[in-house]
Amino acid sequence: MAKRYGFHVNSGSCTGCKACQIACKDKNQLPVGILWRRVVEVSGGQWVKRGEAWIDQTFTYYLSVACMHCERPICVGVCPTRALTQREDGIVLIDADRCMGCHYCEWACPYGALQFDKQAGVMTKCDFCYDYLEQGKPPACVSACQMRVLEFGEIHDLRKKYGSVIHIYPFPDTSLTEPSSTLIPHKDSHQTKSDTTQIGNREEI
Amino acid sequence: MRKVEWSLVFFTLFAQVAIGLFLILVVYQFFQQEGANSTALADFRSMSFLIIDLLLVTAVLAATYHLDRPINAYLAMANLKKSWLSREMLLGLLFGCILSILSLLSWLEIYSPLILSILLIAGSVVGIALLYAISRIYMLRTVPTWNSIIVPFSFFGTSILLGSLLFGITVVIQPPSLHSSGDLSTMLDQLLDGISTGSVTLMFIQILLSYLILKRHRVQTLAIDSSFDYTWTRYRLLFLLRLGSGLIGITLYINFLYPFIGNYQAEGPWGLLLIVSFLMVFLSETCGRILFYASYKIAGI
C-alpha cells in the first residue's frame, strides 16, 4: 500500500501567530486574497454572574487549516474537467490548464481549501509542497511553525500517535470526506455548543 | 450574491422552462397523433421548437458566462463517471442535438411520423434525465441545506409549471388555422383546462418547497448566522415577492386563458395579457431560485 501523507495540528498549543499562513503565501507566491493555509479564530462564551462576582467564561482557540487531502475528496469527484486529481500518496493536486473556473469544487469543499485566483481565472489549492517533499524537506508551513503545532507524515503513523481527528467546530463531520489529518483539540473546543460560538476572523479567511 | 450565482439562476430557469415546454408539447403531440400530419400542427410544432431553441441558447449563454475560463469548457465531460456536472453537460448536449434535428426537419418541412415520434420520445427521456442531473449537481453531501429530495422536486416543478404556461401562450398566439382544426381544438381545450387547474396546484407546491428550502437552513446548529430567523429576516421580502407575484400572476393567467378556451375567436389582447401574467410567475420562480442559492450553507468553514 502506497504511503499517504497527512497533516497534524495541535490546536491546544496554537497561539494564532499565522507564521504558517505567511510561509505558505511566501513559498507559493500567492496573490492578495488567497490563503492556502489559514488560521481560523474561534471564539465564544460569555461572562457569567455568580453571587456578586462575574466569572469569565469566554474562550478563543485557533485552528490552522489547509487542504486536508481527504481520503474521499469531494472536490475530485465533482470536478467535471478532471483538473483535480489525487496522487497515490494522497496529495490532491489541481491542473490549472484543465480548470474551466466553474467553482463547483469551491462549493463542495467543507474546508475552504479551493481558492479562486481572479487574475488567472482558475482555482488554486495547497499542494502539500510536494516539491519540498521530493527534496526531503518538510512543507513550508510545518517548517515555519515555531510552536511545533504543525506536523506532517504518513497518515497511518499520525493516527497511531494522535488518534483519529474528532469533530470540533467549525470542522464538519469527518465521515463526509475522511480528511487525512489528525488534531489535538483545544481544551475549550467542547464549549462550542454554545450559541455564542463563531468564527471571529471570517473576513480574513 | 456573486456573479456566478446570478448566471446560474438564469441558466437553470431557462433550461428548465425549455425542457418543460418540450415535455408538454410531446404530451400534446401524442394525444393528437391522428392529426400529426396536418399543416396547422406542423406550424405549431415549428413555432414551439423555435421558442425552445431560443430558451436553450439563452441558457447556454448564461452557463458559459458563469465560467471563468470558458475556453476549457470542451473538457467538461471528462468526469462522467463521478461528476454530475459532466453528466449534465452530456445530457444538455444530447438534448440540444435532438432539438436541432427536430428544428431542422420542421424547417425543411420533412414530416415523417416515425422519425418524429422517435425524436420526441428520445428528447423527453433526455430532457427528464437532464432535469434530474441539474438538480443532482446541488445535492452535495457537504451542503446539508441542498442535499435533499426537495431540490429535484422543486426543479421539476419549475419546469412543468413554466413550460405549461408557456405552452398556453404559444397556443393563444398561433394563427387561427390551428384553433379551427376540429379535433385539434377539442384536444387543446382539454389540455389548456388541465394546465389552468394543474398550474395553480403546482404554484402552491413550489412556494411551499421554497419555504422548506429556507427552513433547512437551520441544519447548521452552531453558527448564529445560519439560523432560520436570520435567513428569514434577511430574505423575507424576497419570499413575499415570490408569494405575491406567483399567486397574482397565476390568477391573472387563468383569468386571461379561460375566455380563450372553447372560443378561439375570442376578441381581446389575450396573448399580451397572458405574457404579462406569465412574466409575473417567472419573476416568482426567479425569486424562488435566488432564495435557493441564498440558502447555500456548507457543513464546514
pLDDT at position B224 = 42
State the number of CA atoms in the 13 A half-sphere of B283 facing the CB: 18
CA distance B62 to B125: 24
> Are residues B85 and A108, on separate chains, in Cβ contact within 8 Å?
no
Rg of chain A's alpha carbons, rounded to an integer? 18
Q: How many domains does chain B have?
A: 1
Please answer whether residues B20 and B161 qualify as being in contact, where contact means their C-beta atoms are separated by less than 8 angstroms.
yes
Which member of B67, B70, B222 has the closest CB to residue A197? Answer: B222
B76 touches chain A (CB under 8 A): yes
Proportion of chain A above pLDDT 90, given as a percent: 69
A124 touches chain B (CB under 8 A): no
For B120, the grid coordinates are: 420526441
How far A136 CA lies from chain B's nearest CA (Å)?
Answer: 32
3-state SS of A2-59 is CCCEEEEEEHHHCCCCCHHHHHHHHHCCCCCCCCCCEEEEEEECCEEEECCEEEECCE
Query: Tell me, what CATH number does B81's domain have?
Result: 1.20.1630.10
A78 touches chain B (CB under 8 A): yes
- Find the closest chain B residue to A177 by CA distance: B142
How many other C-beta atoms lie within 10 A of the C-beta of residue B129? Answer: 17
* Total residue count of chain B as it appears in this document: 301
Tell me the residue range of the domain where B74 lies: 3-299
The one-letter code for the residue type at A62 is: Y
Instruction: Establish, for the pair of chains A and B, how many residue pairs have beta carbons separated by less than 8 Å.
Output: 117
Q: Is the pLDDT of residue A106 over 80?
A: yes
pLDDT at position B225 = 47
Across B104-132, average pLDDT: 91
The one-letter code for the residue type at B60 is: V
A62 touches chain B (CB under 8 A): no
Alpha carbon separation from B145 to A49, B125, B158, B219 (Å, rounded): 37, 28, 19, 7
pLDDT at position B220 = 45
Q: Is the pLDDT of residue B64 over 80?
A: yes
pLDDT per position as a tens digit, A43-80? 888 899 999 999 998 889 999 999 999 999 999 999 99
B84 touches chain A (CB under 8 A): yes
Please answer whether residues A196 and A44 qualify as being in contact, where contact means their C-beta atoms are separated by less than 8 angstroms.
yes
- Could you tell me which residues are beta bridge partners of residue A84? A94
CA distance B77 to B88: 9
- Is beta strand A84-86 parallel, antiparallel or unpaired with respect to A92-94? antiparallel
A121 touches chain B (CB under 8 A): yes
> Are residues B223 and A198, on separate chains, in Cβ contact within 8 Å?
yes
- Could you tell me which residues are beta bridge partners of residue A38? A65
Q: What is the ipTM of this complex?
A: 0.88
> Are residues A195 and B82, on separate chains, in Cβ contact within 8 Å?
no
What band does A193 get if pLDDT is binned at 50, 70 and 90?
A: low
- Find the closest chain A residue to B139 by CA distance: A108
Instruction: Among B77, B142, B226, B229, pick the best mutation site for testing chain A contact (most A Cβ within 10 A).
Output: B142
Q: Is the pLDDT of residue B37 over 60?
A: no
CA distance A7 to B63: 37
- Could you tell me which residues are beta bridge partners of residue A199? A42
> Are residues B142 and A104, on separate chains, in Cβ contact within 8 Å?
no
pLDDT per position as a tens digit, B202-214? 888 988 888 887 7
pLDDT per position as a tens digit, B209-228? 888 877 776 544 444 444 55
Instruction: Among B69, B145, B230, pick the best mutation site for testing chain A contact (most A Cβ within 10 A).
Output: B69
How far B51 CA lies from chain A's nearest CA (Å)?
Answer: 27
More confident residue, B183 or A135: A135
What band does B1 get if pLDDT is binned at 50, 70 and 90?
A: very low
DSSP percent split of chain B into helix, strand, coil, nearest 5: 80, 0, 20
> Are residues B143 and A199, on separate chains, in Cβ contact within 8 Å?
no
| Matching residue, cell 488554486 | A124
> Are residues B72 and A98, on separate chains, in Cβ contact within 8 Å?
yes
pLDDT per position as a tens digit, A177-186? 899 999 998 8
User: B31-40, B168-177, B214-223: which range is least confident on average?
Assistant: B214-223
pLDDT per position as a tens digit, B138-164? 999 999 888 989 999 999 999 999 999
pLDDT per position as a tens digit, A130-179? 999 999 999 999 999 999 999 999 999 999 998 876 678 888 888 888 99
> Are residues B300 and A170, on separate chains, in Cβ contact within 8 Å?
yes
More confident residue, B14 or B107: B14
Q: Which helix (H) or strand (E) holds A198?
A: strand A198-199
pLDDT at position B172 = 80
pLDDT per position as a tens digit, A85-99? 999 999 999 999 999
CA distance A169 to B215: 22
pTM of the model: 0.89
